[in-house]
Amino acid sequence: MGMEGLLQNSTNFVLTGLITHPAFPGLLFAIVFSIFVVAITANVVMILLIHMDARLHTPMYFLLSQLSIMDTIYICITVPKMLQDLLSKDKTISFLGCAVQIFLYLTLIGGEFFLLGLMAYDRSREINHFFCEIPAVLKLSCIDTSLYETLMYACCVLMLLIPLSIISVSYTHILLTVHRMNAAEGQRKAFATCSSHIMVVSVFYGAAFYTNVLPHSYHTPEKDKVVSAFYTILTPMLNPLIYSLRNKDVAAALRKVLGRCGSSQSIRVVTVIRKN
């Protein structure tokens, strides 16, 4: 059955993917899968370390553990389906699956507009994206969505401006404090840490700003997919690597856990040798 027949006779949507016709789908799969594995591993390790080490039972690490939990769920919403589509000729997603993906995706970023996806049911079912992102789904709508787009725009502006304002004030205070430090080595390390944090914040909020705030004239499907990949795939991998696993307390906890695992393995080997 051709694509037209599939679209006419099925209630499924068709996801065109991150790259519509990749020249090397296997290579793209390997890259995305590697990022996915690193992101999941880093976040799960962070969650376990904070849970297992009593020294990390503080409000700051609790918040970091919640960030890791959200990043783990976040990347699991979009990437597994994307990986499946890279290996399959059938790149469809069911109406229910699309609705669930929208719901989970928007729940994590604080939105409640997943029902907008229902507007797309009566027209073309080919979504020019690698997951059910609201702007891409809205383009399929058979009714006027200007009101919903305006509401979503207002919510996104508030959701971006409020945390960005808090982050900007916080980093201004931090940088001023670092600037007053006497030790040059301490300044260098502090600026290096802050620059890493600012990079992740810039990637996430910059991509979100582009997707949800910039006028339609700035958008193309290809640009939208690449930008979305930054905050759905790359950011969940970078967050634990930059915010958590580079922290001295977390690194100490990781060495402690690895030491326990090494000791346990050594005890098992000695026990087996003695038995033999």
Quick check: 109 pLDDT over 70? no
Quick check: 33 pLDDT over 90? yes
Can you give the pTM of this predicted structure? 0.55
Quick check: 5 pLDDT over 70? no
Strand order in the sheet with 92-93: 92-93, 13-15, 126-127
SS3 of residue 183 by DSSP: coil
Which sequence spans correspond to the domains of the chain? 3-245
What tens digit of pLDDT does each residue of 226-275 get?
Answer: 888 887 888 888 878 776 766 777 778 888 888 877 666 656 654 555 56
DSSP per residue, 65-96: HHHHHHHHHHHHHHHHHHHHHHH-S--EE-HH
CB atoms inside a 10 Å sphere around CB 4:
8
Mean pLDDT score across all residues of the chain: 75
Residue pointed to by tokens 């919510």: 155
Evaluate whether 90 touches 14 at the Cβ level (below 8 Å).
no
pLDDT of residue 8: 45
Show the DSSP H helices in the chain as ranges.
3-9, 25-52, 59-87, 95-108, 134-138, 146-179, 184-212, 221-229, 235-239, 248-275
Residue 221 identity (one-letter amino acid) = P
CA distance 109 to 205: 12
What tens digit of pLDDT does each residue of 140-169 get?
Answer: 766 666 766 777 677 777 777 777 787 788
Comparing 112 with 122, the larger pLDDT belongs to: 122
What tens digit of pLDDT does each residue of 181-226 get?
Answer: 777 777 777 777 677 777 777 888 888 788 777 777 778 888 888 8
Q: Which CATH architecture has domain 3-245?
A: Up-down Bundle (1.20)
Q: What share of the chain in percent tops pLDDT 90?
A: 4
Measure the CA dihedral 167/172/178/184, to 10°.
100
What tens digit of pLDDT does each residue of 42-69 get?
Answer: 989 888 888 888 888 877 677 678 778 8
